[in-house]
Amino acid sequence: MEVLRFTAVKSLNSCVGSEFTATSSVIVPIITVKVSGTRKSKKKAFIRAKATEILSSPATVTEPLKAEPVEASEAPVPLLRVSPSSLQCEPGYLIPNTPVLGTGGVTGYEYLTNILSSKVYDVAYETPLQKAPKLSERLEVNVWLKREDLQPVFSFKIRGAYNMMAKLPKEQLEKGVICSSAGNHAQGVALSAQRLGCDAVIVMPVTTPDIKWKSVKRLGATVVLVGDSYDEAQAYAKERAEAEGRTFIPPFDHPDVIVGQGTVGMEINRQLKDNIHAIFVPVGGGGLIAGIAAYLKRVAPDIKIIGVEPLDANALALSLQHGQRVMLDQVGGFADGVAVKVVGEETYRLCEELIDGVVLVGRDAICASIKDMFEEKRSILEPAGALALAGAEAYCKYYGLKGENVVAITSGANMNFDRLRLVTELADVGRQREAVLATFMPEDPGSFKKFAEMVGPMNITEFKYRYNSDKERALVLYSVGLHTILELEGMVERMESADLQTINLTDNDLVKDHLRHLMGGRTNVHNELLCRFTFPEKPGALMKFLDAFSPRWNISLFHYRAQGDTGANVLVGIQVPQDEVVEFEGRANNLGYEYAVESLNEAYQLIMH
């Protein structure tokens, strides 16, 4: 098929021109007119009408999209490495993006026409757009849920994978495809291969939970477990693709994948006719938000396109802040579906050009939104699937939005069952319905009763206390249920007025992940260095750790709880004399496990030391 293009137009705002896509049988005109002098409502109506006209055309665009080639020059400059903690802000604050002019590559109109003619519906559903009545009433806005968790593989990823694979020539499909993924993209590629009748190899890290790789295998793909991390799995997949002539299907950074994801935006625009204030999109590598923006900013430019990232996986927000793609030096794994260290090159180009900004949310807020979704629809989202909902709520609260329509994309429901335990523990904290506190009280008869009187009518949901004969004061660690923040403030005032020092530890992750589960009271361990390590969830990980540190130093504390992640969050106390700390750091760095020193954490000093 020969494709000819004329007069590529970069923007719908104040420009005149036309573009024609010619196939062997039909020419589809894409016409623009000067509309900047009209009212926004007329402009929007005109654009929608033209999009409908294109959609009704008999022509289809089946040739795979390709970005304009860039001449090879010097070796690529290494990406700037940054820490997620270098950009932190209040939940709901919109980290703004100043859109830049087009920087080359696939044009906006090529994305628009290819989204309109995509064949994703051979395998994917047009998912419903449902109102969330309870959330809408609580927030005083109209909250709409785009239910991508209802796709055949419970994730939007099927769209991009199938769109790219369906455009491959027959001879390429016959050689097979390969991808690297720890979750939803793997299932999308596997189902697409099943429908297209081609062989698929899915490379996953050895730390992938059984439920995920078994789901892929049931779809008929060959599963290969390689490496401790996604990067190792991807390197193997690309080497094998080259060796066997297979086509590598990337999870997000390819125009055809972006086009497939962009059909989500097309559906939202068709399903909700009222004015939309903003669409909130979960961001990992950026494929979904890039595709949605590529469509909607051409046909409904007044709609805000807002990305949502976890506080500890904010690669897009940091890239926009630095004006270039950056690489995170570490990434949080709780929302594993968006745990990406660097966004895609093409996805970043589109985001920089089109989106309105990014909102960051914490783990507690994500858990609260998982609970909200369960209460609304009796559906359980995975953490990445609830990310956009958490961002939408935080944004509406921060800016005091009232009466507007906001859309949150519930992007996936491939929840690891083991992770539900942590979600239930943190959901009420994230909704400010529970607080975690520590109170000092004298080791005297009757002090416990006095403490209970000060708590008053509040519901105690957790309580830990251990008598210590060597201390004049005892420390009580407990949680209380809340209806309002004023209740908590009143209780703390009662405690303080009775000389019972009380500290709010609700926002301390060390307490929520570890210290609330430890019992035994405070102790004086000399030279104790407290660290949090991330162990890969695979056999031999513990022995590798022990070989690095034992018997060189005494291990004084060890706490681990399975949370359904590919990496295990482990709290370790090691007795390291001051003059041996440098040696310890060297061994810890050589071990290859991510770690952070927590010895100065306020909660550790209060509860354990």
- The whole-number pLDDT of residue 407 equals 98
The active-site residue out of 146, 157, 297, 512 is: 157
Classify residue 575: in a domain, yes or no: yes
Residue 551: how many other CB atoms lie within 10 Å: 7
Q: Give the type of residue at 496.
A: E
Strands (E), 33-148: 80-82, 95-96, 129-131, 142-146
The candidate with the shortest Cα–Cα distance to 305, out of 368, 261, 362, is 261
The active-site residue out of 118, 155, 215, 411 is: 411
* Mean pLDDT, rounded, of the chain: 84
Q: Give the type of residue at 295.
A: Y
Cis before residue 551, ω within 30 degrees of 0?
A: yes
What's the pLDDT band for 209 if we cut at 50, 70, 90? confident
Higher pLDDT, 42 or 331: 331
Would you put residue 207 in left (φ > 0), alpha (ψ -120 to 50) or beta? alpha
Is residue 486 located within the same domain as residue 539? Answer: no
Residue bearing tokens 């005892």: 474
Active site residue 85: no
Is residue 601 located within the same domain as residue 524? Answer: yes
d(CA 266, CA 508): 41
Higher pLDDT, 17 or 446: 446
- The whole-number pLDDT of residue 75 equals 58
Both tokens assigned to 591: 């071990």
Q: How far apart are the first and last CA of the chain?
A: 73
DSSP 439-458: EEEESSTTHHHHHHHHHTTS
Q: Among 473, 507, 541, identify where a domain stops.
A: 507
Tell me if 223 sits within 8 A of 233, measured CB to CB.
no
Is residue 498 located within the same domain as residue 565? Answer: no
| CATH classification at residue 446 | 3.30.70.260
Tell me if 367 sits within 8 A of 423, measured CB to CB.
yes
Both tokens assigned to 360: 């960051």
Which uninterrupted H or E stretch holds 162?
A: helix 157-166
Q: Among 507, 541, 557, identify where a domain stops.
A: 507
Is residue 41 located within the same domain as residue 1? Answer: yes
Is residue 523 located within the same domain as residue 603? Answer: yes
Phi and psi at residue 182, to the nearest 5° = -105, 10
Classify residue 568: in a domain, yes or no: yes
What's the pLDDT band for 208 if we cut at 50, 70, 90? confident
pTM of the full structure: 0.79
d(CA 240, CA 120): 27
Is residue 15 located within the same domain as residue 42? Answer: yes
Quickly list H helices, 272-411.
287-299, 315-322, 345-354, 363-377, 383-399
146 pLDDT exceeds 50?
Answer: yes
The rounded percent of the chain whose pLDDT value lies above 70 is 84
- The whole-number pLDDT of residue 342 equals 93
Tell me if 413 sits within 8 A of 379, measured CB to CB.
yes
Per-residue pLDDT, averaged over 100-125, amounts to 84
Is residue 589 located within the same domain as residue 529? Answer: yes
Residue bearing tokens 């589109």: 350
Tell me if 224 sits within 8 A of 73, measured CB to CB.
no
- The whole-number pLDDT of residue 223 equals 95
Contacts of 181 (CB under 8 A, 6+ apart): 189, 202, 203, 204, 230, 233, 251
Classify residue 571: in a domain, yes or no: yes
Q: Among 507, 539, 566, identify where a domain stops.
A: 507
Classify residue 603: in a domain, yes or no: yes
- The whole-number pLDDT of residue 24 equals 29
pLDDT in tens, 450-504: 888 888 788 888 888 766 666 677 888 889 988 888 888 888 888 888 888 898 9
Domain range spanning residue 486? 432-507
d(CA 366, CA 236): 33
Active site residue 304: no
Q: Give the type of residue at 176.
A: G
Least confident among 127-136, 163-172, 224-233, 277-286? 224-233
- The whole-number pLDDT of residue 19 equals 34
Least confident among 30-44, 100-114, 160-174, 294-308? 30-44
